[in-house]
Amino acid sequence: LYSVLSTPSSVSSGINAEYGDKVIQEVKKRKLISPVVTKFYKVTKGPGFSTTIQRPEADLTAEMLQDGSWKSKTFKDYNFAARGAPMTSGYLHPLLKVRAEYRRIFLDMGFSEMPTAQFVENGFWNFDALFQPQQHPARDAHDTFFISDPALTKEAKFPSDYLERVKTTHEKGGYGSTGYDYDWKVVEAQKNILRTHTTAVSARMLYKIAQQPEFKPVKMFSIDRVFRNETLDATHLAEFHQIEGVVADRNLNLGHLIGILHTFFKKLGIEKLKFKPAYNPYTEPSMEIFSYHEGLKKWVEIGNSGIFRPEMLLPMGLPADVNVIAWGLSLERPTMIKCGINNIRELIGPKVNLNMVQDFPICRVNKA
């Protein structure tokens, strides 16, 4: 120990081996020695040596190829694992995604789609052709949006013979009916409105089918917007989507209708259904369709259904033994049930959260 203290210059990297770790630790505690680390660096010119700083190029441009400057430039290495910048794009509304899935289900069930691009309809196809009387409350301004310009459809656009049969059925009856016993006016049928249901489309298509030389069974559907002068609340809007289904064949009955509705909603993942007897001017018997909403904890009406009356079908020219089962379903309410939304104004309208629209996943329902 004395020799170490008297001759500190003799302490070297081999001191540990000469004196042992115990001696070294003891000397460190007395602060008589301290380790010193010396690092040396040797700098030489490499192949990329330069006295100026050049930023590597990210892209090879056409100008570089033309003037040959690419030969003297350095380029960044491509990072193939890097994520690209997010692209700004539009997003499909949840209703459009659900609508596409509903449409696929109808097509899987063998239905064909009806054309529904005509939002403005006249009273004849929207009401009169459906055997709905002209004094019915649904035809008042507090339930229907009337068009001011043009306010009327020209009478020449209606099939004259069919128009006369509809008038006679309303006034005097026929086909086993006594009618409504009132003075039917063509001017009421001419009034232009925003269609209140897509059943107007179904009426046009059924009339077209009735004009064919030979009747063939059909299954048709439509999904589009309808308009009603409703009071806005958690489950009602003035503009909403209606799903319309029509099956025309011989000897159909209410059992066929209930079976199709159960099959359709089961494919949507909705199995809690119940039916309530109802009244419709153009269907008999008629049923309202309810589904249980887990969020609202109550049964919510999601549609209406029934069998079209003979007073509607026979004036069109359909055979007497042909029955037509039909139903109209809301698109918004099943979507609310499926997505757990309690207020319809959070799904469509000015109060919609755009983040909800962006984050809404692709619609995939539980297929049965």
Note the pLDDT tens digit of each residue in 24-51. 888 888 888 888 888 888 888 888 787 8
pLDDT category, 67, cuts 50, 70, 90? very high
- Range 247-276 average pLDDT: 88
Per-residue pLDDT tens over the stretch 299-318: 888 788 999 999 999 999 99
**Cα distance between the two ends of the chain:** 91
pLDDT category, 250, cuts 50, 70, 90? very high
- Range 349-365 average pLDDT: 72
Is residue 319 within 8 A of residue 213, CB to CB? The reply is no
Q: Is the pLDDT of residue 64 over 70?
A: yes
Q: Tell me which residue of 183, 221, 177 sits closest to 202, measured CA to CA.
A: 221
**Amino acid letter for position 202:** S
Per-residue pLDDT tens over the stretch 110-146: 999 999 989 999 999 999 999 999 988 878 877 889 9
Residue ranges of E strands in 126-217: 192-194
As a whole number of angstroms, the distance between CA 114 and CA 107 comes to 12
As a whole number of angstroms, the distance between CA 65 and CA 43 comes to 36
As a whole number of angstroms, the distance between CA 105 and CA 365 comes to 10
pTM for the structure as a whole: 0.70
Q: Is the pLDDT of residue 7 over 90?
A: no
As a whole number of angstroms, the distance between CA 94 and CA 106 comes to 19
| Dihedral-angle region of residue 181 (phi above 0 means left; psi in -120 to 50 means alpha; beta otherwise) | left
SS3 state of residue 214: coil
